[in-house]
Structure 1
Amino acid sequence: MALLTHVLACIFGIGSWMSINGVWVELPVLVNVLPEGWYLPSYLIIIIQLANVGPLFITLMHKWKPGLLSEVLVICVVVSTGVVACFLLAFLWHYTMDFGGARHSVAFFILTFCLSLVDCTSSVTFLPFMGRFHPRYITSYFIGEGLSGLVPALFALAQGAGISSCVEVAIPSNHTHRSNATLGNVSAGDPVPFRLETRYSPANFSSLVFFLILSGLMFSCLVAFFFLNRLPRVWDLSEQKLCASEITLHSIRKIPADGGLKEGFTNFPVEGKAESCSKEDEEGAPEKVVYSWTTLAFMYVLITWCSSLMYGILPSVQSYSCLPYSNLAYHLSTTLGAMAVPLACSISTFLPSRSLAFLSVLAATGTAFGAYNMGMATLSPCPPLNHSEWGDALIVISWVLFNGTLAYVKVMLGVILRGHSQSALVWYGAMEQLGGLIGAVIMFPLVNVYSVFKSADYCSFRCPA
């Protein structure tokens, strides 16, 4: 039963951010069809941040009207909405209409908002629900949450989304192209018989199939929640008073028939055994730990900081930091970076650390890797070691370590707050969303308004020597 609970918690966690992550990894296919083109990501950032009305509403209701909203009902509605929205997106994503004097993907935007609402709200509903279970299952949930980015990425790689190559395109003989840079084997100023262009390979399967897969995975999350909600509370050792090692045949006694009750069984321990729990059992039912407001504030600030880097600031510039090196570096950084998150969650299971000093140092280390990534994005399109294998390796390693270190910090802070109270987990989710919102608000004008970061086509652009 314990193994089953771990598996269900992991599947449940996968549904937390999988749908909107699926939309992001599918963008290389969508931008070639939808009228917004490569402006589509900037629209998605706005839509996702508007969806924060969901967690804001849940958090305020939890604060001012506790118990009014049924946690189970809210999760059922949220996950069911995700299943239906993914299913409809498979058939309606390419439909457009005139709006505001231009052609826009209104159906795609509406359904994406529904998916964003599902994922944002999961931060303040899924984790508090998992707070009902033993703390060891929190880690399994975080592993699933990490996989919510990896699973869609693997399907996108199988689909071949965004895989590109440089091809030579012949220039008509009556057209003379002069350039100030060196293209191919032709010197600057000479007529160029060809030019290099980026060509994207056709997908192995359509976006319809991709979104149907996401809908099926979201349905599996709903099924996992159904069984988790019906697991007997005996497996929540934080509420269990009887040591599992003391449940024996002698612990089961018949209730006397003359007691006025039907014959049955109880699971009370035999005399003299109630206090004989092993150390493992004592650790299995940890007492609540009360932290000062100063300590709680520090942990919430740390959560907000890590979330702003992981979900708002650095993802906005990942393409600028990786694509100047190569398309391969970009794909490896996104895929391996996504794999680093569940790996860090698994490491936290075997090598946990509740030391806030150590977690602070680890957060600073992850921030340093993030600063390197941001620096390379700022120097785009000509960062150091451009078009070098060393440059490719360094940027990929930096992204992997950035995601892994900060993911470990967030998981351990979640485990620590689980020992404080279930309400602390609600505020954990709220601070996580707040961090992502702050990061997005900071980066949106820098990327889309002031154009601080410069991009260039990898195939045709060459940095000056």
Structure 2
Amino acid sequence: MTILVHLLSCLLGLGSWVAINGVWVELPLLVPHAPEGWELPSYLTLLIQFANIGPLVVTLIHRFQPGYLREASVIFVLLGVGVLACLLLAFLWQRTSWVGGSQRSTALLGLIFCLSLVDCTSSVTFLPYMTRLRPDYLTSYFVGEGLSGLMPALLALGQGVGVVACVPTNTSETNGTQVSGNATALYLSARFPVWGFFLFLAGMMATSLLAFTILNKMPMEQCQGHNAETVGNRQHPTDSESWGKGVEQRPMMGGKECVVKTSKPWKGLGKYSWGEVMFIFLVLAWVNGLTNAVLPAVQSYSCMPYGTQIYHLAAALAAMANPLACGISMFLPNRSLVTMGTITAIGTACACYIMSTAVLSPCPPLLQSPAGGAIAVLGWVLFVGILSYVKVIIGIILRDEGHSALVWCGAVVQLGSMVGALTMFPLINVYNIFHSGDPCNQKCPP
């Protein structure tokens, strides 16, 4: 039974971010066919930030109407919407409509927003629900959350992106010799189509929904561990059980109650000075701004000039670097601020190289050399892996400071991501700082 609960907890974690992670690794196949073209990733980063209205609404309802929302009901709705949105994406992702005098991928963008709403809101619903279970089951949940990035990346690697064929659009004959004019890029099919990938995402979301249904129906006592004590169906606990001030009652499966000690308010003191606390949060905002908004918004500009194969490898391998970095942190935990600052500087250097290739698009460095594409992929993998490790370091530091520090951590993460997205969107879509290219007609200096 314990193994089954671990498995179900893992599958619930899988459904937390698998949809949006899947969309990110599928972008190399979406970008060439979308009217937005290379600007599509910037729209995605902005939609994810707008989707944070979901967790905000849930948090406000819990604050002003306690008990109005049942976590289990909200999770059922979220996973159901995720399954439906993935199914609709499989059949509607190429549908466009005219908006403001230009064609837009309204179905694709609208459904991606729904998936973003599901995944963002999962952060404030899935984890609170898991507090009903024993603490060791939370580890299985986080394993599933890591798989939500790994599994779509592995599937994308197996899918491939096909190749680009340049088909002449017009030819003329001079002295019996055919002279080709401009060529049109023809993107050949991958090993299986985009709609098949979205159906696979729908299947993973449906699996998570089924796992949660079983988990929620299991009438067993799971709330046991070092940070909680199980109290029977008694309404008047004794003084020795420390009820009242300093504890919080939570409903639990099986008609029991789980009594969890609450943390003291965080005052920002302890082993770190205020200057060190400010440094930690500035690094946190900087790292999340880069990884969640700034660089993802320009990934197409930094990779597409080298070809769709390079873009595909960069997106998939970078997605795999995140859970790999988190796994390494389990064996090499670190709380040193000097180490954190050094690693952040190295990751920022990788980000600067990636940004330089995006700014120089469609003629980035080493365009005609195989080394150019290899460095681009390596840069993305190192960038995501290194800064993901920095996030884990900060998480370990703030976890030791208590619950309130982690609340501030979440706020700073969202603030950094929002500032990054709101900065990059006008630069890409309004001021046109970045330029797309033509794989068949682009001429760059040697």
Q: TM-score range by the shorter chain?
A: 0.7 to 0.9
Say whether residues 1:200 and 2:181 are aligned partners: no
Going from structure 1 to structure 2, the CA distance change for 1:427 and 1:218 (only over 3 Å counts) comes to: farther
* Contact 2:42–2:298, Cα closer than 8 Å, also in 1: no
> 1:407 — aligned with what?
388
Say whether residues 1:211 and 2:211 are aligned partners: no
> 1:366 — aligned with what?
347
Distance 2:210 2:358 in 1: 41
* Contact 2:9–2:137, Cα closer than 8 Å, also in 1: yes
> 2:321 — aligned with what?
340
Q: Which runs of 5+ in 2 are unaligned?
A: 231-259, 269-273
* Bigger radius of gyration: 1
Going from structure 1 to structure 2, the CA distance change for 1:426 and 1:347 (only over 3 Å counts) comes to: same
Distance 2:212 2:286 in 1: 30
* Contact 1:321–1:377, Cα closer than 8 Å, also in 2: yes
**2:311 alignment partner AA:** Y
> 2:251 — aligned with what?
none
Q: Say which SS state the counterpart of residue 228 (structure 2) adopts.
A: coil
Q: Say which SS state the counterpart of residue 335 (structure 2) adopts.
A: coil
* More divergent stretch after superposition (129-138 vs 47-56): 129-138
Distance 1:29 1:41 in 2: 12
Going from structure 1 to structure 2, the CA distance change for 1:93 and 1:399 (only over 3 Å counts) comes to: closer
Distance 1:235 1:4 in 2: 16
Distance 2:344 2:6 in 1: 27
* Contact 1:290–1:420, Cα closer than 8 Å, also in 2: no
Percent of pairs identical after alignment? 50
Distance 1:338 1:364 in 2: 21
Where do residues 11-410 of structure 1 align in structure 2 (5 Å cutoff)? 11-30=11-30, 40-62=40-62, 68-96=68-96, 104-130=104-130, 140-160=140-160, 162-167=161-166, 169=168, 171-174=170-173, 192-193=179-180, 198-226=185-213, 232-239=221-228, 292-293=267-268, 294=274, 299-410=280-391
> 2:419 — aligned with what?
438
**1:54 alignment partner AA:** G
User: Could you list the per-position Cα deviations for residues 313-345 of structure 1 after superposition, in whole angstroms to 9, with x for gaps in the alignment?
Assistant: 011112222233343332222111111111111
> 1:450 — aligned with what?
431
Q: Say which SS state the counterpart of residue 305 (structure 2) adopts.
A: coil
Going from structure 1 to structure 2, the CA distance change for 1:456 and 1:208 (only over 3 Å counts) comes to: closer
* Contact 1:288–1:420, Cα closer than 8 Å, also in 2: no
Going from structure 1 to structure 2, the CA distance change for 1:234 and 1:53 (only over 3 Å counts) comes to: closer
* Contact 2:41–2:300, Cα closer than 8 Å, also in 1: no
**2:226 alignment partner AA:** L
**2:205 alignment partner AA:** M
* Contact 2:171–2:179, Cα closer than 8 Å, also in 1: no
Going from structure 1 to structure 2, the CA distance change for 1:364 and 1:16 (only over 3 Å counts) comes to: farther
Cα offset, 1:442, TM superposition: 0.8
User: Could you list the per-position Cα deviations for residues 44-89 of structure 1 after superposition, in whole angstroms to 9, with x for gaps in the alignment?
Assistant: 4443332221122234445555555433333332222212222233
Cα offset, 1:218, TM superposition: 0.9
> 2:234 — aligned with what?
none
* More divergent stretch after superposition (102-111 vs 85-94): 102-111
Q: Say which SS state the counterpart of residue 323 (structure 1) adopts.
A: helix
Going from structure 1 to structure 2, the CA distance change for 1:302 and 1:136 (only over 3 Å counts) comes to: farther
How many residue pairs match? The answer is 408
Distance 1:166 1:95 in 2: 24
User: Could you list the per-position Cα deviations for residues 63-119 of structure 1 after superposition, in whole angstroms to 9, with x for gaps in the alignment?
Assistant: 555555433333332222212222233344444556556655544443322212111
* Contact 1:128–1:423, Cα closer than 8 Å, also in 2: no
Q: Which runs of 5+ in 1 are unaligned?
A: 177-189, 242-284
Going from structure 1 to structure 2, the CA distance change for 1:26 and 1:333 (only over 3 Å counts) comes to: closer
Distance 1:220 1:35 in 2: 33
**2:85 alignment partner AA:** A
Going from structure 1 to structure 2, the CA distance change for 1:454 and 1:38 (only over 3 Å counts) comes to: closer
Distance 2:139 2:9 in 1: 9
* Contact 1:144–1:342, Cα closer than 8 Å, also in 2: no
Distance 1:81 1:194 in 2: 48
Distance 2:170 2:435 in 1: 27
Cα offset, 1:423, TM superposition: 5.6
* Contact 1:2–1:235, Cα closer than 8 Å, also in 2: no
* Contact 1:123–1:432, Cα closer than 8 Å, also in 2: no
* Contact 2:329–2:392, Cα closer than 8 Å, also in 1: yes
**2:368 alignment partner AA:** H
Cα offset, 1:403, TM superposition: 0.8
* More divergent stretch after superposition (313-322 vs 192-201): 192-201
TM-score normalised by the chain length of structure 1: 0.73
* More divergent stretch after superposition (364-373 vs 414-423): 414-423
TM-score normalised by the chain length of structure 2: 0.76
Distance 2:303 2:107 in 1: 32
Distance 1:137 1:93 in 2: 37
**1:51 alignment partner AA:** A
Distance 1:393 1:45 in 2: 25
* Contact 2:42–2:296, Cα closer than 8 Å, also in 1: no
Cα offset, 1:384, TM superposition: 2.9
